[in-house]
Structure 1
Amino acid sequence: MAHSDLTLSATATDYLKLRLVHRNPPLTASQALSSDTLRLKSPIISGASTGSGQYFVDFTVGTPPQRLLLRPRLGQLLRLRLPPPPLPLLLPLPCSAPACRLVPHRRCPRRRRRRRRRPASCSYSYSYSDRSSTAGIFSLDTATLNSTSARDFKLRRVHFGCAFHVSGFDGAHGVMGLGRGPISFPSQLARRGFGNKFSYCLMDYTLSPPPTSFLFIGQAHGPKPTNPKPRPIMSFTPLLTNPLSPTFYYVGIKSAFVDGVKLPVNSSVWGLDGDGNGGTVIDSGTTLSFFAIPAYREILKAFKRRVKLPLVSNPALGFDLCVSVSSGASLGLPRMSFGLVGGSVFSPPSSNYFIDVADGVKCLALQPVSAPSSFSVIGNLMQQGFLLEFDRDKSRLGFTRHGCAVK
């Protein structure tokens, strides 16, 4: 299959291995693919050095090439912050370009009778749910993904937003959008033979040295080994769609459990209403997990009832439940799980939601949703140690606790 706008700097390969990096500060509440297609494997970089608590992908764009750290986010587009001089020479898209019509929140002037000497550029202004924002010009250029195998992967004619005004990006140079929209990064690569699926593993950043996390676009694993191991058995749940926010990945929670006891939370608390409010999204760019207030209250009540460690009362930490683990043990921490649409159960270990916030102190890293109309969020802390596969053709999310230790 020919791909005229896809080139490699080395011999052609069917995958690329790139690292996801995590930046890990002490947290408080206020901080917080099919085998016959091409595959991209991208390391996810730790963000500890900037104190942002996020994961990043190494990305190079423009002429001259500019190296950027992008925060992978589900439900978003590919947006970059304009770097300092020397500025890359980017090709702005005109408002008349077909791709501009696909940009949400675009700003194009109305057509005038007098012909313009220069076509208007496709500009945009966008605000995220975490109060970060970006505004700039939708552009086109060559991008390079840096591979751990010394085979840099070049993509020609990649569409992305080049931001001139940015706030709240927590040390990132931009966002690698992994959303369901037609111009997100996976959507652009799917049209070039990579398959319409992606996956990632976010490893436990508290280990020393921290294990490498990876982002895959295409098949969930690297090249087929000589003696292949059985593919990890996954659990699946449908990916739901909210017509008012069609780019986000919604999952359906039916029930919540603490230490195996079902909580008295009506299933409607987790669901989308007829106006597109509520529901639960899964997001790689949000650190903590947020739940609708009725569910959050029952979860908090159940944890307080079952925790076997001394409680710590310190409002400055910003969490509603903190415990003393000065003995060095984490025994007595309850386990939480969620029953999902389709019959699967998501059961993360307690280390995914009880986090170290001070010496000898762990806190329950959950927060209530601030507005009744807002959606719940399963953040990246809750996802650690799981291989998550977003199969966009079958509109389903696969997850397993096995398969992340891929070399």
Structure 2
Amino acid sequence: MVSLSQLPFFLIFFLFTTLCNSSQPYLQLPLLHRHPSPTPTQALSSDTRRLSLLHSRSASSPIVSGASTGSGQYFVHLLLGSPPQPLLLVADTGSDLVWLRCSACKNCSRRSPGSAFLARHSSTFSPFHCYDSACRLVPRPDPAPCNHTRLHSPCRYQYTYSDGSTTAGFFSKETTALNTTAGKPAKLPHLSFGCGFDISGPSLTGPSFNGAHGVMGLGRGPISFISQLGHQFGSTFSYCLMDYTLSPPPSSYLRIGASESDVVSKLSYTRLILNPLSPTFYYIGIKSVSVNGVKLAVRPSVWSLDKDGNGGTVIDSGTTLSFLPEAAYRLILTAFKRSLKKVASLVEPTPGFDLCVNVTSLAKGSLPRLRFGLEGGSVLAPPPRNYFIETMDRVECLAIQPVDSGSGFSVIGNLMQQGFLFEFDKDRSRLGFSRHGCGLQ
């Protein structure tokens, strides 16, 4: 965990000047959802691409944006620039950098479909200089020319993903306003972000990006959205991701700042584990898994981080489905099949899924119950609707996929998280969660 004394001078200055005139103890933002929702097959395809990017690491790219495929389904609306321009960013705990699609257009009267932020139309847009200390925090292109004597030598950044997709542009700062659940916009004088002028590749230009203009990184690094607001609201944030298939859909929200005391009293906690080789991600320790109250014989090492930084389990708001180690997944699958054969008719699985059931005659409460025993003794027991997904009328499939724990990590995706309040406390390195407390406060 990075202490305040370890932060670069520019970031300390930023933290003490941003929002200095606000007395509000927290910032609460509505989380929006794409309509229409992606099909389960589309979600699986996007998640699979996302996982391949999350699992790829590069020593030359210290910040890896995990949401490049756009598989995340929850968005934050913000207004950027002077005059303000509306944008939608994926809320992503799997990345640090805030970045968005920019346009270098000089004479545009309005944004064209598919474009995003018009930097030249804002009087407050300002790229960092390439020798600014802020520029050391982002991956740079090679070569990255920089001239001490020139007034305009912007900080250039570049991400190249495992599928060949690239976002590149200027690391910049800008005036920002965010819509809050209280109805009053919150103004941020200086938001540091990547302004991407060169966007290429299938995961950033195709329909899988879900209409997002960029990514709001909520990770553990010093330039994430959460870290940038840390001095004003503290290093705690929480969210409630609600079931968007309900009609009318309940409100989801992201809260920067500590929860109220009555909410905190209802939280169960587990330790947040820091993986030095992937410091962005929020890891938790799974100790056991049970189906219908019966503990499965999964070796403890299946859940562990190894010396090379592989394995472990990440809480990720930007992945829809959940991914568990192959050894654990096969035992869960076997137990689920054994349980369901007694009460329902298994059907031919939807492509990409291993277990599907016809729920027409299934009695309420008959789907298998899954429970995760976590480090510290807490238990995460999501309802079946959090791990079964409807793939066609009256057919539901198991929304969990296997992953090779020898070369990657497990992921608790946003479907598994629905209906829970999750609170990320970076200072105390702990994750709190509860089925209560998701009402707008």
Q: Judge same fold: TM > 0.5, yes or no.
A: yes
In structure 2, the CA distance between the partners of 1:196 and 1:339, relative to structure 1 (3 Å rule), is same
- Aligned mates of 1:319, 1:205 — CA distance in 2: 21
Matched, 1:171 2:211: yes
The separation in 1 between residues aligned to 2:420 and 2:239, in whole angstroms, is 8
Q: How is 1:333-348 mapped onto 2 (pairs within 5 angstroms)? A: 333-348=367-382
* Structure 1 residue 180 corresponds to structure 2 residue 220: yes
Query: Are 1:198 and 2:237 matched, yes or no?
Result: yes
1:75 aligns with 2:94: yes
How many angstroms apart in 1 are the aligned matches of 2:142 and 2:336? Answer: 51
> Cα RMSD over matched residues?
2.6
**Contact in 1 for aligned 2:93/2:218 (Cα 8 Å):** yes
Provide the secondary structure at the position in 2 that maps to 1:393. coil
State the SS of the aligned residue for 1:268.
helix
Q: Which of 248, 267, 273 is the matching residue for 1:209?
A: 248
2:29 paired residue number: 18
2:280 corresponding residue in structure 1: 247
CA contact (8 A) 2:27 2:256 kept: no
Deviation of 1:7 after TM superposition, in Å, equals 7.1
1:395 equivalent in structure 2: 429
CA deviations 1:86-123 (Å, max 9, x no partner) are 513331112211111122x23364678x8653554222
Please tell me whether residue 288 in structure 1 is matched to residue 321 in structure 2.
yes
Q: Distance in 1 between matches of 2:190 and 2:326?
A: 45
Name 1:351's counterpart in structure 2. Answer: 385
What code does the residue aligned with 2:397 have?
A: C
Identity of aligned residues (%): 57
> TM-score scaled to structure 1, two decimals?
0.85
1:366 — aligned with what?
400
5+ residue gaps, structure 1, are 33-50, 222-227
Q: How does 1:79-158 map to 2 (within 5 A)?
A: 79-82=99-102, 85=108, 86=110, 87-88=118-119, 89=122, 90-103=125-138, 105-107=139-141, 109=143, 117-118=150-151, 120-126=153-159, 134-158=167-191
C-alpha separation between the residues in 2 aligned to 1:132 and 1:256?
37
Q: Which whole-Å deviations, capped at 9, do the CAs of 1:265-320 have from their partners, x for residues lacking one?
A: 1111111100111111110010010112111111111111111321111443x210
Q: CA deviation at 1:234?
A: 1.0
- Residue pairs, 1:206-245, within 5 angstroms: 206-221=245-260, 231-245=264-278
Q: State the partner residue of 1:309.
A: 344
Residue 21 of structure 1 and its aligned partner are, at CA, apart by: 1.1
Structure-2 separation of matches of 1:151 and 1:230: 23
1:324 aligns with 2:358: yes
Give the whole-Å Cα distance in 2 for the aligned partners of 1:131 and 1:289. Answer: 25
CA–CA distance in 1 between the matches of 2:30 and 2:178? 10
The CA distance in 1 between the partners of 2:38 and 2:427, in whole Å, is 37
Q: Could you tell me whether the CA contact under 8 Å between 2:79 and 2:86 is conserved in 1?
A: yes
Per the TM alignment, residue 135 of structure 1 is displaced from its structure 2 partner at its CA by: 2.6
Cα distance in 2 for residues equivalent to 1:337 and 1:128 = 35
Call closer, same or farther: CA 1:110–1:206 in 2, change over 3 Å.
closer
- Could you tell me whether the CA contact under 8 Å between 2:28 and 2:256 is conserved in 1? no
How do 1:39-78 residues align onto structure 2 when only pairs under 5 Å count? 54-76=73-95, 77-78=97-98
**Letter in structure 2 aligned against 1:170:** N
Measured against aligned partners, the alpha-carbon deviations of 1:179-210 in whole angstroms (never above 9, x if no partner) come to 1101101101013x211100001111121101
Residue in structure 2 matching 1:272, options 305, 316, 325: 305
Q: 1:348 to 1:133 in 2, by over 3 A?
A: farther
* Matched positions, count: 376
Q: Tell me the alpha carbon deviations over residues 235-287 of structure 1, each in whole angstroms, 9 at most, x when there is no partner.
A: 11110011111111011111111111111211111111001111111100100
TM-score by length of 2: 0.79
| AA of the residue aligned to 1:138 | F
Distance across 1 between alignment mates of 2:161 and 2:416: 20
Query: Retained in 2: the 8 A contact 1:136–1:162?
Result: yes
